[in-house]
Amino acid sequence: MNFKRTLLITGGAGFIGSHVVRLFVNKYPDYKIVNIDKLTYAGNLANLTDIERKANYEFVKGDICDSGFVQSLFAKLNFDGVIHLAAESHVDRSIANPMEFVTTNVIGTVTLLNAAKENWKTIPSNNKIFYHVSTDEVYGALGETGMFTEQTKYDPHSPYSASKASSDHFVRAYHDTYQLPTVISNCSNNYGSYHFPEKLIPLAINNIKNNKPVPVYGKGENVRDWLFVEDHACAIDLIFHKGKTGETYNIGGNNEWKNIDLINLLCKIMDKKLARPDGESAKLITFVKDRAGHDLRYAIDSSKLQNELGWQPSLQFEEGLEKTVDWYLANQTWLQNVTSGSYQKYYEEQYTKR
Ligand code: NAD
Ligand code: DAU
């Protein structure tokens, strides 16, 4: 079959990447979607079982830091666009092991930029775009008031956010120096299905279900702006197709929650779903040592994306959180496979069967 466009999505076996791959494969049957993923601990092909046999989808196991592999894939498949999500994404892991973050997030991104630059020498003669998916954490931390806009100065505090800030700078440098057609988005905290259970919301759901302590860092006063992951995927679709080259778009839910308030809400939902007496799950809340360099507050102003491209989040937080809890309770096998580590065998089993 001849496809209208061939797109590379990196990190498509991860949390957000799997939602982006699913959206593009289903919505654009005339696009060929190639998903490159190294399948680190965070990559799970079981996130994509519903679309893995579609004619317009291909999975390639590979490392974005491997320049030979990346260059040869670009030469072979002639990508018309890239949506780059592959990254080390967990702040706590970046505090424990910063080098992996420098390698994947900085060197991996520059390796992809180089391949696109080399392969797209005819730029800007056609419709190519290198879309880099980034985070609000590059802007640093807010006090009690204010919001991050696209003009906010970068001020990253964790090795994770410093590596993402660096990768954003490289993307802009390739745009300005080599006229590579790029676009960047910086999004707030996502939640939803297929979220790896070391991050706050899925970790808390899993622990509450299993009557284990729910660790809340410090006093639980830190504020995050939560967005339903499928709304992020829709924003990426819109920016990929309608965003202006060289621009940055902030994406956020306009939905700020103190961690402790969020966990209390989650406990109430879990009491209802598990038919426990009111207040039972909240007894599991355990205040633990704070994260080093813990940013106090994030809040995203996404008015540029809303006004220029017409994006709006679709779900209220309470509705999205309840939907997320329902998904985790209905997908206990997925969760058990992830927590036991057996999901990492899925690749070998599925791909040797073929
Ligand atoms: P994730 O950790 O769930 O998934 C990352 C994926 O990248 C995994 O499938 C992993 O196997 C893959 N990967 C890692 N190193 C690789 C390498 N060297 N080569 C190829 N693949 C590799 O991450 P996520 O939460 O889905 O985040 C995706 C992107 O969105 C990241 O760039 C992250 O910075 C950004 N982001 C995340 C959030 C959030 O709330 N999770 C918010 C804003 C932005
Ligand atoms: O803001 C966007 C970022 O959101 C993304 O760029 C990151 O990839 C993503 O992991 C996420 O980072 P956070 O550090 O905000 O997410 P996390 O789920 O790790 O933590 C959310 C908040 O909850 C944060 O203030 C730390 C706190 N926390 C986290 C964990 C895992 C706890 O209190 N207890 C916990 O056990």
- Where residue 145 sits, what CATH number does that domain have? 3.40.50.720
Residue 352 pLDDT > 80: no
In a domain, 260, yes or no: no
CA dist list (Å): 62 to 68, 79, 90: 11, 16, 20
Which tens digits make up the pLDDT trace of 243-268? Answer: 999 999 999 999 999 999 999 999 99
Q: Which atom of ligand 1 is the closest one to the Cα of 137?
A: 43
Q: Which ligand is nearest to the CA of 216?
A: 2
In a domain, 324, yes or no: no
Strand partners, 310: none
**pLDDT attached to residue 354:** 52
Average pLDDT in the chain: 96
Residue 126 pLDDT > 80: no
Question: Ligand 2 centroid vs 152 CA: distance in angstroms?
Answer: 21
Residue 131 pLDDT > 60: yes
Domain total of the chain: 1
b/e 252-277 (16+ beta carbons within 10 angstroms → b): bbbbbbebbebbbebbebbbebeeee
Q: The domain containing residue 96 runs over which residues?
A: 5-195+227-254+296-316+341-353
Q: Is the CB of 291 under 6 A from ligand 2?
A: yes
Q: What is the mean pLDDT of residues 298-316?
A: 97
pTM check: above 0.95: yes
**pLDDT attached to residue 344:** 82
**pLDDT attached to residue 5:** 96
Which tens digits make up the pLDDT trace of 53-77? Answer: 999 999 999 999 999 999 999 999 9
Q: What is the mean pLDDT of residues 268-294?
A: 98
Q: Which atom of ligand 1 is the closest one to the Cα of 196?
A: 3
**pLDDT attached to residue 121:** 86
Q: Is 41 a catalytic residue?
A: no
Residue 27 pLDDT > 60: yes
Q: Which atom of ligand 2 is the closest one to the Cα of 214?
A: 36
Q: Is the CB of 235 under 6 A from ligand 1?
A: no
**pLDDT attached to residue 308:** 98
Per the CB < 8 A criterion, the answer to whether 24 and 51 are in contact is no
In a domain, 284, yes or no: no
In a domain, 266, yes or no: no
In a domain, 104, yes or no: yes
Q: How confident is the model at residue 164 (pLDDT cuts 50, 70, 90)?
A: very high
Cβ neighbours, 10 Å, residue 226? 23
Q: Choose between 274 and 123: higher pLDDT.
A: 274
CA atoms within 13 A on the CB side of 282: 12
In a domain, 330, yes or no: no
Q: What is the mean pLDDT of residues 333-338?
A: 95
Residue nearest to atom 19 of ligand 1 (CA): 63
Q: What is the mean pLDDT of residues 266-274?
A: 98
| d(C-alpha 211, C-alpha 204), whole Å | 10
| d(C-alpha 144, C-alpha 229), whole Å | 26
Q: What is the mean pLDDT of residues 219-226?
A: 98
Which tens digits make up the pLDDT trace of 191-205? Answer: 999 999 999 999 999
Q: Is the CB of 140 under 6 A from ligand 1?
A: no
Q: How confident is the model at residue 123 (pLDDT cuts 50, 70, 90)?
A: low
**Ligand 1 mutation pick, 10, 89, 239, max ligand atoms within 8 A of CB:** 89
Work out whether strand 214-217 and strand 285-288 pair parallel, antiparallel, or are unpaired: parallel
In a domain, 208, yes or no: no
In a domain, 328, yes or no: no
**pLDDT attached to residue 194:** 98
**Ligand 1 mutation pick, 8, 10, 15, max ligand atoms within 8 A of CB:** 15
Q: Which atom of ligand 2 is the closest one to the Cα of 217?
A: 33
